[in-house]
Structure 1
């Protein structure tokens, strides 16, 4: 069947069948009604990749740069191409609905999910999102714009009330959603967990119906965030079509009872079911099979796009001594690569954005590859560690039978031997044959899925066994975290006991054990050692009966190095090398769904490492990798600095391409980097320390991000929109047309590449209201263009703007207003580096509602 008639099908369904459509089937599917040709639609987490339907042992996926990195590209064409690639991977995985993009405004860089949104500015956020959506949906896959709205922190995210003025809500927090709807047509939208001004968004007719559907004309499906429905009648009346995930908690029988009480009517159910069927109609038209096997995508063209997007998300912050690029004619023979983010591929932030990458390239690997071609000597030193939990065993494990990489995971429904998973357990026990088994390549097994539920009960026993082969000799620290209870054996020895009253921890949705560690001495590089975990998930599954699961485990190991020794080794290496490349920053443990950051500091001894390397090597390049802002107390001493964000599969090659001049950097900061936390406009009204009895007051109003720094005359470390190039650009010939009666006008100017190097420049257009009747930002981004120029080339740039560029929201009148008068037009290379100034005059005021 390639066509599907919504009204005809709806008329045939019974009330019970219609109700069934209003909630999900498991984590990633909608409910089917097979007798009327209604199959399950499949969805998958985004926004920077397509994980598919399994947390455990899923099909590997392409990981694109974090959204802050894609936003930093200021490149709508690139965002469109990324969207196409994500749509193609959805098709390969039989996925009809991608859960992205995220467009929540980055009110504070401390937000655990800040890396998931494109920018602190609603225009950049909304326009990049629109291009992404258009790309995804060009492949017949539904994009899901999220999380609507004011879902800007992780602290008490299910209950916190974002208390925000109507004007700020409209101009800052709703605006990226509004712009995305104006420039694309997302087929789905996800409501947020939080309250807005005291009312949960999933129960707000004003936000979901009055504004989204009636005022903006949104025609798509509204789904809840996962376990983000807290009511039956209220959520249905407000307009939430689909409760996710399944099985239902707030619908099903509760809807039947509400119908009997006439709190709901059949017409209410029909409205919600119709939206599910309308999305199903698009799924049929896409040709994507239902219940299809999941496959990965790996082509040379995709790898090139991954590499291009990684490089194009890198911002050159400082190049004072022109150390970069490291060209062939540079007098360099030796390179010291230093830092924890050099050796590991931190492709994305944590939480639902994480996935199993199809492959990764670390910065160290990429630098070594270029160095080999150029006959350069590269040596590595860790310098410091920054992990919260010990690094996973993944790169160093093989099956016991020697047939490949990974580990064997076995399950029993009954205890396989006396003392199994207790402190008295011995590896010599004669275990019963297992009920079911599988191999895995990971040492972090989140068993929410991927287990044969026809054979393995939720309350079960499991064994994880593998061979660990260290790459360096020395003492290693092993660690274990369980969703349940059990033990870790190294060889024949019990080294970690989590079977007797294990301490609680934050892992596995906050219901797992704390990480417990133990050291093993004198391991030899290249020698294999048997590692085994025996566990029971009894206690865990009793605590989370709502979410079907088989528990889980996480095992890590790291070579023990004295902090001072590691730091001194790195400094000594930097001292004797021609160039030192420091790759430092955060990772998915520091920036993640589920919690916010406590500060803007780099972890551990990172800042000290950077300072001491800067002292001994005048050719030190600092590469910071983070999803949002951090502070650099050493910035005045550093002359060469790159901001890399999380770069996806090809993050290493992206960094190397910029370092060695293969790619000329062209990205600009998508969010402000402050000098200190207290300068952030939302400070201190943010997170756990800023809440007032379950409420967060958005005291800064519309002065979010760069708007707040400018209105208070606070100089940040690096302003919004800032980024350098290996080229130099000259701006000239600004011309602004007259504003039409509808509020449209054109801004034209010329950019010239005055250097001898091909480059790309992001020209940013800001508007200032010179005669406003109420406080407005000093300037606001309203347009941008990325221009590619050969050496010496000039190009005329034309941008069309409309009333959106002039207006503010008048909450007294409940509409948008552009007051007559003169507006400044500011064209620049950043929010602070204005190159050209002009003006336009609006002769008659405008007022409007809607898009």
Structure 2
């Protein structure tokens, strides 16, 4: 449920789960998510049929290839590598469905940017489509059996996927043997007869727009026949049979899940998604001995838990642990008396931080009150004058809420409230710091913001358009409330009209929304000096950089830079205290112009409920980091010379044909072909800042004894080698197997990861491990013959700790060429 739903568990973002390289963990996360689904009941309000399905159907996982780190939804997919993407997805799906809940693999296919996402045509060669973008879906179907699949919004080579028979029927069903139900993305159906004939079973959401009565007319015109309808209905009924067999009730109360086992899994997943990028001076793990007197935690949002990127991936978490809370709890639990001090340093938000924790009802209960009217409740309700008529009408319906970001797609009594409604939001705002506060508002439709009966923000007079609520909201407009006192009560009233949005035409029932945020105004130079001074006098300095508001469904990033003055802050803190531990939290790659100055860097991704504890576990050494980057991190050189590798956005293989840049109108050209991610850097001999698969440990691992069996006539072979933990610290290592064919009819990547294994080793322990591979590791897609081909000849096999850190090399040989279609 999007509004006022029961709280749920938030696991690490998919890039973090992908970075774990841990199929067992992905399976357990899938099982836990299934438990959450089973706890959800049916809702009595509008959209009941949709959200009740979420009890039986999980709308995940996303396996779109991370073509560019600029993608607004990059954090929702597992990797830039199709093999890692598909195999983690398969384990996740198997975990979900092991408990009778359907997984929905999405968004099929080439849905890799948010710019013009409903209309853009992803123009991609057949070879790249097969080897890069379809491959994770193919692997997930091969190693799991998802009961549902979601088509994407976009076109592929000119035709919308939701009406593309070749993609939905010829490839997915006939070639790959998919037996499940195909649903559309929300409002992702643009035709009636075409989508039905193509194989799209279910239009989402309801009530239908492109089907229903439109189908009657298509039947009369014989554009459709009853057999076409039967085929679509059959798939829906087959999924319904599985839902009935699951034992999940259709009309149960909605409940949450909170057990010690779940809390531990969330904490484990958070820690296992943290990548140790640098530890040059062995600052980590940070030991709390008597010499540690002060620890500074510096950076925007370190005292807030940024659990996920934005958009439909967001949820109301059952609990959260911020980095500051996690570090304080670790210090307290260790029995150390060290001071843990915090300062913001800089602000880096795109939208003002939400104020849910600082809002209260009149009786002191956390939260606020919402009232709804179908007609203007008073003549001057939407006027800029704060004094409304005393004869305000009684509301048609009302409720309370604990959040200050309210998207009313559900949770409203549709029998009493129309989408063309008026809304009043009232709460008591109690600042936690004295000073001037910047308070801001964005709404769907028009609105005004009053504090203590004084107009602060006017969004009723020509409101600027914005990106919130998937483009249906205004931009955030803010103003300064001067001289607020910590602990003092301030009455906030926000009035909203959703009528203008309804007039524009809504794709589904939507009662509007509002987002209320704020932050104490901080003088930039003063904050800088405070942060630097704090760093100078501290023994341990975790420096946290968070910016989830910059990564969200609905828009793509403009660049790879950390926002605002963050880079300057990091550089100055590193100069003040070289032992600073820099922790970057982002859903995908960012540049780090200070990287050479930093000895200790962690990449945390979005860590879910337990991100603070998971991070503290890694910093303290309670957990030995074992994650590896699931995508390449390009870098940046401030003043590059002619001999420098240009480590910047221009190095990303999809540059400049991405988003709204470098494209023909209405289409985006996938000019890089199969050379996506690390494949593109290697073919151009460009060294990224951190390569795909990179990640350090507190242990040291040695590789030896590579053996490659001959390739069988069916394309099967085994790679074996020994990994030894030559340190005094127990740890886990992710070994990656890359394959290359030196002599081939078509250009092949320098290396392609075709297998991986995660090994747990005690100090001094060695293990021989095996990775079984098949023809998938050998083949390329031949567009001329429309089939997969593995050419006879020698294949180079490389085993490494990353795509660039190759430890062992060997060869094997295929005696006769193979061709095949299907799985």
- The TM-score, its normalising length taken from structure 1, stands at 0.92
Is the counterpart of residue 688 in structure 1 residue 660 in structure 2?
A: yes
Q: Deviation string for 1:529-570 (max 9, x for gaps)?
A: 211112322222222343212211111121111112111211
Deviation at 1:716, TM superposition (A): 0.3
Q: Is there any run of 5+ residues in structure 2 with no aligned partner, and where?
A: 42-54, 636-647
Report the equivalent of 2:52. none
Is the counterpart of residue 379 in structure 1 residue 341 in structure 2?
A: yes
Is the counterpart of residue 337 in structure 1 residue 284 in structure 2?
A: no
CA–CA distance in structure 1, aligned partners of residues 401 and 508 of structure 2? 22
Report the equivalent of 1:81. 28
Deviation at 1:428, TM superposition (A): 7.5
Could you tell me whether the CA contact under 8 Å between 1:97 and 1:141 is conserved in 2? yes
Deviation at 1:697, TM superposition (A): 1.1
SS of 2:759's equivalent in the other structure is strand
Report the equivalent of 2:793. 821
Q: After superposition, where does 1:501-512 map in structure 2 within 5 Å?
A: 501-512=462-473
SS of 2:427's equivalent in the other structure is strand
Is the counterpart of residue 464 in structure 1 residue 431 in structure 2?
A: no
Q: Deviation string for 1:277-334 (max 9, x for gaps)?
A: 0101110111111132211111111010000000000000000000000123473221
Is the counterpart of residue 71 in structure 1 residue 43 in structure 2?
A: no
Is the counterpart of residue 713 in structure 1 residue 685 in structure 2?
A: yes
Could you tell me whether the CA contact under 8 Å between 1:411 and 1:436 is conserved in 2? yes
Q: Deviation string for 1:380-437 (max 9, x for gaps)?
A: 01011111121111010111122x1000111223333331221124168353332221
Report the equivalent of 2:723. 751
Deviation at 1:738, TM superposition (A): 1.7
Q: Deviation string for 1:350-374 (max 9, x for gaps)?
A: 1111111111100011111112232
CA–CA distance in structure 1, aligned partners of residues 722 and 798 of structure 2? 14
CA–CA distance in structure 1, aligned partners of residues 401 and 520 of structure 2? 23
SS of 2:312's equivalent in the other structure is helix
Q: After superposition, where does 1:601-680 map in structure 2 within 5 Å?
A: 601-675=561-635, 676-680=648-652
Could you tell me whether the CA contact under 8 Å between 2:82 and 2:132 is conserved in 1? yes
Q: After superposition, where does 1:60-209 map in structure 2 within 5 Å?
A: 60-94=7-41, 95-209=55-169
Could you tell me whether the CA contact under 8 Å between 2:187 and 2:507 is conserved in 1? no
Q: After superposition, where does 1:701-780 map in structure 2 within 5 Å?
A: 701-780=673-752
Is the counterpart of residue 238 in structure 1 residue 198 in structure 2?
A: yes
Deviation at 1:484, TM superposition (A): 2.6
Correspondent of 2:181 among 218, 221, 227: 221
Deviates more, 1:769-778 or 1:515-524: 515-524
Deviation at 1:262, TM superposition (A): 1.0
Deviates more, 1:528-537 or 1:328-337: 328-337
Report the equivalent of 2:50. none
Deviation at 1:487, TM superposition (A): 2.0
- The TM-score, its normalising length taken from structure 2, stands at 0.95
Structure 1 residues 509 and 150: alpha-carbon distance in aligned structure 2, compared to 1, 3 A threshold: closer
CA–CA distance in structure 1, aligned partners of residues 591 and 627 of structure 2? 19
Report the equivalent of 1:27. none
Deviation at 1:622, TM superposition (A): 0.3
Report the equivalent of 2:765. 793
Structure 1 residues 807 and 581: alpha-carbon distance in aligned structure 2, compared to 1, 3 A threshold: same
CA–CA distance in structure 2, aligned partners of residues 328 and 520 of structure 1? 42
Is the counterpart of residue 453 in structure 1 residue 414 in structure 2?
A: yes
Deviation at 1:455, TM superposition (A): 1.9
SS of 2:95's equivalent in the other structure is helix
CA–CA distance in structure 1, aligned partners of residues 546 and 354 of structure 2? 18
Deviates more, 1:126-135 or 1:417-426: 417-426
CA–CA distance in structure 1, aligned partners of residues 223 and 388 of structure 2? 60
Is the counterpart of residue 565 in structure 1 residue 565 in structure 2?
A: no
Could you tell me whether the CA contact under 8 Å between 1:583 and 1:623 is conserved in 2? yes
CA–CA distance in structure 2, aligned partners of residues 298 and 497 of structure 1? 42
SS of 1:422's equivalent in the other structure is coil
Q: Deviation string for 1:566-620 (max 9, x for gaps)?
A: 1121111111111211100421x21111111111000000000000000010210
Could you tell me whether the CA contact under 8 Å between 2:359 and 2:366 is conserved in 1? yes
Correspondent of 2:285 among 294, 308, 325: 325
Q: Deviation string for 1:438-476 (max 9, x for gaps)?
A: 110011111121111222232222211111111111111
Report the equivalent of 1:260. 220
Report the equivalent of 1:804. 776
Q: After superposition, where does 1:3-82 map in structure 2 within 5 Å?
A: 54-82=1-29
Could you tell me whether the CA contact under 8 Å between 1:511 and 1:543 is conserved in 2? no
SS of 1:352's equivalent in the other structure is coil
SS of 1:234's equivalent in the other structure is helix
Report the equivalent of 1:577. 538
CA–CA distance in structure 1, aligned partners of residues 245 and 127 of structure 2? 40
**Number of aligned pairs?**
796
Q: After superposition, where does 1:309-458 map in structure 2 within 5 Å?
A: 309-329=269-289, 331-373=291-333, 374-402=336-364, 404-426=365-387, 429-458=390-419
Deviation at 1:844, TM superposition (A): 1.1
Deviation at 1:770, TM superposition (A): 2.2
SS of 2:481's equivalent in the other structure is strand
Deviation at 1:690, TM superposition (A): 2.3
Structure 1 residues 113 and 545: alpha-carbon distance in aligned structure 2, compared to 1, 3 A threshold: closer
Report the equivalent of 2:814. 842
Report the equivalent of 1:552. 513
Could you tell me whether the CA contact under 8 Å between 1:87 and 1:139 is conserved in 2? yes
Could you tell me whether the CA contact under 8 Å between 1:390 and 1:556 is conserved in 2? yes
CA–CA distance in structure 1, aligned partners of residues 257 and 660 of structure 2? 41
Cα RMSD after superposing both structures:
1.3
Could you tell me whether the CA contact under 8 Å between 1:409 and 1:439 is conserved in 2? yes
Report the equivalent of 1:45. none
Report the equivalent of 1:490. 451
Q: Deviation string for 1:335-354 (max 9, x for gaps)?
A: 11000131211111111111
SS of 1:740's equivalent in the other structure is coil
Deviation at 1:479, TM superposition (A): 1.1
Could you tell me whether the CA contact under 8 Å between 1:461 and 1:536 is conserved in 2? yes
CA–CA distance in structure 2, aligned partners of residues 778 and 457 of structure 1? 59
Deviation at 1:249, TM superposition (A): 1.3
Could you tell me whether the CA contact under 8 Å between 1:422 and 1:500 is conserved in 2? no
CA–CA distance in structure 1, aligned partners of residues 750 and 464 of structure 2? 52
Q: Deviation string for 1:220-274 (max 9, x for gaps)?
A: 0011111111111111111100011111111111111111111111111111110
Q: Deviation string for 1:2-28 (max 9, x for gaps)?
A: xxxxxxxxxxxxxxxxxxxxxxxxxxx
Structure 1 residues 327 and 428: alpha-carbon distance in aligned structure 2, compared to 1, 3 A threshold: farther
CA–CA distance in structure 2, aligned partners of residues 846 and 314 of structure 1? 40
SS of 2:35's equivalent in the other structure is helix
